[in-house]
Amino acid sequence: MKKLVFTLALAALPSMAFAAGIDLSWDDCVVGGAPQSNRTFNCAANANYNLHFQFKLPQGLPGFVSMTAYADYQNTTGTPLTSFWRYEPGSCQQTPTQKGASIFDDLGTSSLFSPACLPSADGGAYEDAWGGNGAGGTETINAFGIDFRRPGNGYFVLLDYRADGLAFPLAGSPANYWAFRVNFKTHNRGACAGCTDQGILLFQRLSLESNDGTPVMNLDNADKGVVCTTINGGPAGLCPTVPARSTTWGQLKSLYR
């Protein structure tokens, strides 16, 4: 099983703007699919919801080995996060056998129920950013900021890397890449209050690292205009109000305490 870990070092790097960018969608990939901008969680039964992280590069990256995604959750009330929307180690959502959120980096399993995420070689529109090196394993969320910038704000830092440690060349535009999916579950809705909370989830940045000395490539812009999704009918107008990523080293270190 590939181990997904989390990093701090990339957060200190300056932002860079590119013609390509990032995308975020529920259920399916943006290109050629039927993605959902909002998902209303079934808080009366066990259910699964998949959030797909996608990207396009402005130029090729021949020495690619790892990536870090930064994402913000914000509730609509501006009150402290309820236990259902907390994913730090030891939290209500991360202690049961059924974790409240997990990460999958195997495109093969994703494309079973997200047909537009199929690799382009199989007739789909997306490339596998891992070159088949995604082990199909799942990991829990291990880096999460609680009421990080303001009440009701949860900050995700998600790092994935090639299991064999070898570089895999990524092509520039127009190639579309699938990064991974975050699977949210409602299995703990009884023990963890707040399943019906309204909110948004914003994909703020993707940083890609190489092993050949190439500088980190930071993608901050929306490629197809889809970087913010809503949950339980949260207003899309809340998306622009989430603070821009201006996280300090000290702030990020607090996520690991």
Q: What is the pLDDT of residues 157-185, one digit of tens each?
A: 988 888 888 999 999 999 999 999 999 99
Which residues on adjacent β-strands are paired with residue 217? 208
**What is the rounded distance in angstroms from the CA atom of residue 236 to the CA atom of residue 229?**
7
The whole-number pLDDT of residue 139 equals 64
Please enumerate in sequence order all residues whose Cβ is within 8 A of that of 176, keeping only pairs 6 or more positions apart, or say none: 29, 31, 54, 55, 56, 120, 125, 126, 127
The whole-number pLDDT of residue 120 equals 80
Q: Where residue 241 falls among pLDDT bands split at 50, 70, 90? A: confident
Assess contact for 201 and 238: CB atoms under 8 A.
Answer: no
Provide the token pair at 97. Answer: 């056998």
Q: Where residue 246 falls among pLDDT bands split at 50, 70, 90? A: low
Query: What does 194-255 look like in DSSP terms, one character per residue?
Result: -TT--EEEEEEEEEEEESSSPPPEEE-SBSSS--EEEETT--GGGGGGSPP----HHHHHGG
Looking at residues 198-215, what average pLDDT do you find?
96
The whole-number pLDDT of residue 121 equals 76
Looking only at Cα atoms, what is the longest distance across the chain?
51
The whole-number pLDDT of residue 257 equals 45
Helix (H, G, I), strand (E, B) or coil at 83: helix
**What is the rounded distance in angstroms from the CA atom of residue 185 to the CA atom of residue 194?**
13
Residue 119 has pLDDT above 90, yes or no: no
Residue 248 has pLDDT above 70, yes or no: no
Query: What does 162-175 look like in DSSP terms, one character per residue?
Result: -TT-----B--TT-
Q: Where residue 256 falls among pLDDT bands split at 50, 70, 90? A: very low
Assess contact for 71 and 200: CB atoms under 8 A.
Answer: no
Go through the chain and tell me how many residues it has.
Answer: 257
pLDDT in tens, 4-19: 333 333 333 333 434 6
Question: Could you tell me which residue, 128 or 253, shows the higher pLDDT?
Answer: 128
pLDDT in tens, 62-117: 999 999 999 999 999 999 999 999 999 889 998 777 889 988 888 877 777 788 88
Helix (H, G, I), strand (E, B) or coil at 10: helix
The whole-number pLDDT of residue 134 equals 65
Looking at residues 206-231, what average pLDDT do you find?
95
Looking at residues 232-257, what average pLDDT do you find?
66
Question: Could you tell me which residue, 58 or 11, shows the higher pLDDT?
Answer: 58
